[in-house]
């Protein structure tokens, strides 16, 4: 089937804007642009918008966080300065106010995370899409972007064949590389590189890591929670850090919220040195001296595992981890076991694949964009969301930066469209 063309003057003299990607950033940019009077067309490769948004809300939609501004911005590590400028335009309070405008009040949880009162993503998304349609946003599903035609028009594969679309400005909001089944497959990387736009390779973020357990340990303990534990690690600059939380033994290694929170420095250590050492305090409620004293008591006829359980409360996956790392013989030395229980070294071999990750790092380098998030190599084309080169831990920081960058990109589009032709 041949290629069709969508061109001509925008409706009623309005400027026509194409938003490529129907995720959080794309929908929010579309909303801002439509409110300013633009004719807005959203193109989504899947059959519906906001699929990853729905998955993010499966266990309770963590919309944003209540951190004070400076701490909030620091969560974005190397990109803290750039993201802070986006947050000045649209921050966590603005996001909560926006949700309330959709009839969705929010609350701050005990961890400082912000959730809708009903914890659900679906009602918010349904109300949002309904409002966008009522406002006149055109949503085109099953339209996969395939790059630019020679004359600069956007090209799409559709169920009816190829489509060339003429727009006065474009916002790219195609997501990262995690959750490819939901549309964030990173296929846009080659298209942008071919157009001369600098893209940092996509990498897994908020992810688990391979350790290389023995088959016996993996079969016996995969899926077992470790809570609470304290993680100790070093950044690539050698600085030492510690964080308490919860994680899970997986079939391949270790994962869970505590590991996700520190996945960036662990991934960087692996990239630099070929592996990373993560040390776990398996018994954070006991000081080393006390633990040594408890384990040094005579165990009589009790087995080593029973002695660990009775003397120090170490059993299940914790005891299994000690045996996995130390070996059977060392388990008979109370001093060695006590020291390991307080700082058990796990050698992380690699991050789990990106399609298992919660989010991704890498993307369009921010240096390839101006302050309004317009591509320097392609004037009139802006980018927002997870396809930009930033990352953040879970906790509401990911969604907030997607909204904030979309707000900045939409403002940039409006500024661009006001320029003389």
Q: What percent of the chain has pLDDT over 90?
A: 91
Residue 143 has pLDDT above 80, yes or no: yes
Residue 173: how many other CB atoms lie within 10 Å: 29
Residue 299 has pLDDT above 90, yes or no: no
Residue 11: how many other CB atoms lie within 10 Å: 11
Quick one: tokens of 161?
């064949």
pLDDT of residue 420: 47
Distances (CA, A) of 115 to 102, 221, 310, 371: 14, 32, 41, 30
Q: What is the pLDDT of residues 57-66, one digit of tens each?
A: 888 999 999 9
pLDDT of residue 5: 64
Q: What are phi and psi of 304, to 5 degrees?
A: -60, -45
pLDDT band of 56, cuts 50, 70, 90: confident
Per-residue pLDDT, averaged over 325-342, amounts to 95
Residue 321: how many other CB atoms lie within 10 Å: 26
State the virtual CA torsion across 77, 78, 84, 90 in degrees, nearest 10. -70
CB 281 within 8 A of CB 343: yes
CB 301 within 8 A of CB 242: no
pLDDT of residue 19: 98
pLDDT of residue 75: 96
Residues 6 or more apart whose CB falls under 8 angstroms from that of 40 comprise 17, 19, 30, 33, 34, 136, 137, 138
Residue 12 has pLDDT above 50, yes or no: no
pLDDT of residue 2: 58
pLDDT band of 213, cuts 50, 70, 90: very high
Residue 136 has pLDDT above 90, yes or no: yes
Per-residue pLDDT, averaged over 283-292, amounts to 94
- Coil, helix or strand at residue 108: strand
pLDDT band of 300, cuts 50, 70, 90: confident
Residue 414 has pLDDT above 70, yes or no: yes
Distance CA(80)–CA(71), nearest Å, equals 10
Distance CA(272)–CA(91), nearest Å, equals 34
CA angle 86–16–40, rounded 5-degree value: 65
Quick one: tokens of 95?
């996001």
Residue 349 has pLDDT above 70, yes or no: yes
Quick one: tokens of 227?
């809570």
Name 379's bridge partners.
none
Distance CA(260)–CA(62), nearest Å, equals 15
pLDDT of residue 7: 54
Q: Which of 122, 93, 98 is nearest to 108 (CA)?
A: 93
Helix (H) or strand (E) holding 415: helix 397-417
Q: Across all residues in the chain, what is the average pLDDT?
A: 94
> For the whole model, what pTM was predicted?
0.93
Q: What is the DSSP string of 193-223?
A: HHTT--EEEEEEES--EE----HHHHHHHTT
Distances (CA, A) of 177 to 102, 261, 276, 306: 29, 18, 23, 46
Q: What are phi and psi of 140, to 5 degrees?
A: -110, 110
Q: What is the pLDDT of residues 73-102, one digit of tens each?
A: 999 999 999 999 999 999 999 999 999 999
pLDDT of residue 109: 96
Name 4's bridge partners.
163
pLDDT of residue 301: 86
Residue 8 has pLDDT above 60, yes or no: no
Per-residue pLDDT, averaged over 254-273, amounts to 96
CA 247 to chain centre: 17
Distance CA(381)–CA(153), nearest Å, equals 11
Q: What are phi and psi of 134, to 5 degrees?
A: -65, -30
């Amino acid at each position: 089937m041949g290629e069709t063309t969508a061109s001509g003057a925008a409706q009623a003299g309005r400027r026509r804007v194409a938003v490529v990607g129907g995720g959080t950033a794309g929908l929010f940019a579309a909303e801002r642009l439509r409110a300013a009077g633009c004719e807005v067309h959203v193109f989504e490769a899947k059959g519906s918008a906001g699929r990853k948004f729905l998955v993010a809300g499966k266990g309770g939609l963590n919309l944003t966080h209540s951190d004070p501004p400076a701490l909030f911005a620091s969560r974005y590590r190397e990109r803290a300065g750039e993201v802070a400028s986006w947050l000045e335009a649209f921050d966590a309070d603005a996001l909560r106010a926006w949700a309330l405008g959709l009839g969705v009040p929010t609350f701050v949880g005990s961890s400082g995370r912000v959730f809708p009162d009903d914890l659900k993503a679906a009602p918010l998304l349904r109300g949002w899409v309904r409002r966008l349609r009522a406002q006149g946003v055109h949503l085109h599903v099953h339209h996969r972007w395939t790059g630019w035609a020679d004359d600069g028009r956007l090209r799409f594969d559709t169920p009816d064949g190829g489509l060339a679309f003429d727009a006065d400005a474009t916002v790219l909001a195609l997501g990262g590389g995690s959750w490819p089944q939901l549309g964030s497959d990173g296929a846009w990387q080659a298209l942008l590189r071919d157009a001369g736009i600098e893209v940092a390779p996509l990498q897994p973020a908020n992810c688990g890591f391979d350790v290389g357990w023995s088959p016996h340990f993996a079969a016996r303990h995969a899926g077992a929670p470790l809570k609470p534990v304290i993680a100790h690690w070093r950044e690539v600059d050698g600085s030492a850090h510690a964080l308490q939380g919860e994680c899970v033994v997986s079939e391949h290694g270790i994962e869970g919220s505590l590991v996700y929170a520190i996945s960036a420095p662990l991934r960087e250590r692996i990239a630099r040195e070929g592996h990373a050492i993560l040390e776990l305090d398996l018994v954070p409620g006991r000081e080393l001296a006390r633990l040594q004293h408890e384990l040094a008591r005579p165990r009589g006829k009790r087995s080593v595992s029973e002695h660990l359980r009775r003397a120090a409360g170490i059993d299940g996956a914790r005891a299994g981890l000690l045996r996995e790392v130390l070996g059977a013989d060392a388990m008979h030395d109370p001093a060695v076991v006590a020291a390991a229980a307080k700082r058990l070294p796990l050698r992380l071999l690699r991050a789990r694949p990106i399609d298992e990750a919660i989010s991704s790092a890498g993307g369009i380098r921010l240096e390839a964009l101006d302050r309004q998030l317009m591509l320097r190599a392609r004037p009139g084309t802006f980018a927002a969301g997870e396809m930009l080169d930033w990352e953040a831990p879970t906790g509401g920081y990911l969604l907030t930066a997607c909204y904030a960058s979309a707000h900045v990109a939409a403002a940039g589009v409006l500024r661009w469209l006001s320029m003389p032709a």
